[in-house]
Amino acid sequence: MRPLRPCWIGLGVLPLAGCDGAQSALAPAGDQAEAIGRLWDLTLAVCVLVYVLVLLALAWALRRRGRRRATDERAMTKALVAFVLFTGGTLTLLTVASFVTDRRLHAPVRDPLHVRITASQWWWQVEYLSADPSRQLTTANELHLPVDRPVRIELATTDVIHSLWIPVLAGKQDLIPGHHNVLVVTPRHVGRYRGQCAEFCGLQHAHMALDVQVDGTEDFAAWYAHQLQPAPTPRSAGANAGQRLFAASACAMCHAIGGTDAGGRVGPDLTHLASRRTLAAGALPLDRTRLAAWILDPQRYKPGTNMPQVPLQPQQLDQVTDYLMELQ
């Protein structure tokens, strides 16, 4: 992994989140971010050089002030030519570097994993596409990827313009209604990373994060095989009651749980909810207490979100939470 740049260079962006590398464009973990990082380094070097030269020129001009000297035409011309050549050269260098980086970002990849991410206000639907339709997987708000394999992410949205930005892996790419964009990433380092929406999309734009996990090949295959399974049957009595309640009440109107009759697609797929680390697109960490609080009043944590406040008795809330926490 590249050594991290000092934080203060990063223009004062969220210091803590940036520095630990999970969401830092300055800590690339994939080929595309690596290419962008190199361009960034080059631009930084050139800008620092130019800055220093300008300061030196300013210092020299200040030193010379007040003294009257005959204008040396030839020296002036030479200086001007040198200046123009230097400027033209650096601009050309940056242009070429930018072009090369762009080509690298859009280079064709062989045998990519196909993923489709559909953004809605304010969550991510992640579908793993496959030539064999029975191996197609739908999940939400988390993206697991195998290391060292290129991934071709199709980007779509159901409502307004969003933008997907996983800084450690690649640059931003918009998700535009009626349009299909593509983002290619090739992760190179195993680890947990964070992406987020990068185009203002409404009230909860700030709470629309994507939990990204890059795994080794075997770990990814195991995760994938597990996620393909329908939801486990509930074990405890409370969870059983919770499942019945889920299917009969407002929950099943919006959410799907594989293997049951709940087939809603306007909200995140909950088939393996308890295997995730975060809740509500990264707004909350996932544990039993927070899940119950979220279900009781989603508007408290994400005011304006489309999940309504469903009136539930305390016992009903317990049962539904029991059921959902069993969906490993």
Interacting residues toward other proteins by CB under 8 A: 118, 129, 132-134, 136-138, 156, 158, 177-178, 180, 230, 248-250, 252-254, 256, 258-259, 261, 263-266, 297, 299-300, 303-306, 308-311
> CB 133 → other proteins: shortest distance, Å?
3
> CB 184 → other proteins: shortest distance, Å?
21
> CB 163 → other proteins: shortest distance, Å?
17
> CB 240 → other proteins: shortest distance, Å?
19
What is the largest distance, in Å, between two alpha-carbon atoms of the chain? 98
Nearer to other proteins among residue 41 and residue 297 (C-beta): 297
Within 10 Å of residue 139's Cβ, how many Cβ atoms? 21
Rounded to whole angstroms, the Cα distance separating 312 from 303 reads 19
Nearer to other proteins among residue 41 and residue 261 (C-beta): 261
Q: Are strands 151-157 and 113-120 parallel, antiparallel or unpaired?
A: parallel
Please tell me what DSSP assigns to residue 263.
Answer: B
> CB 258 → other proteins: shortest distance, Å?
6
Name the nearest CA neighbour of 276 among 138, 107, 142.
142
Q: What amino acid occupies position 304?
A: G
- Three-state DSSP class for 302? coil
> CB 89 → other proteins: shortest distance, Å?
47
> CB 146 → other proteins: shortest distance, Å?
21
Nearer to other proteins among residue 90 and residue 138 (C-beta): 138
Nearer to other proteins among residue 137 and residue 140 (C-beta): 137
Question: How many angstroms separate the Cα of 28 from the Cα of each of 41, 87, 137, 142, 192?
Answer: 12, 30, 28, 19, 13
Question: What contacts 24+ positions apart, CB below 8 Å, involve 267-270?
Answer: 267/123, 267/306, 267/307, 268/123, 268/125, 268/140, 268/141, 269/125, 269/138, 269/139, 269/140, 270/140, 270/324, 270/327
Residue 124 Cα to chain centre, angstroms = 10
Tell the burial category of 14 from Cβ atoms under 10 Å away from its Cβ (0-12, 13-18, 19+).
exposed
* 327 backbone φψ class: left, alpha, beta (φ>0; ψ -120 to 50): beta
Nearer to other proteins among residue 118 and residue 319 (C-beta): 118
Nearer to other proteins among residue 143 and residue 155 (C-beta): 155
Nearer to other proteins among residue 88 and residue 230 (C-beta): 230
State both tokens at 196.
Answer: 């987020």
> CB 185 → other proteins: shortest distance, Å?
23
Nearer to other proteins among residue 275 and residue 306 (C-beta): 306
Which stretches within 64-128 are classed as H helix?
Answer: 73-105
Nearer to other proteins among residue 89 and residue 304 (C-beta): 304
> CB 252 → other proteins: shortest distance, Å?
7
Rounded to whole angstroms, the Cα distance separating 10 from 26 reads 8
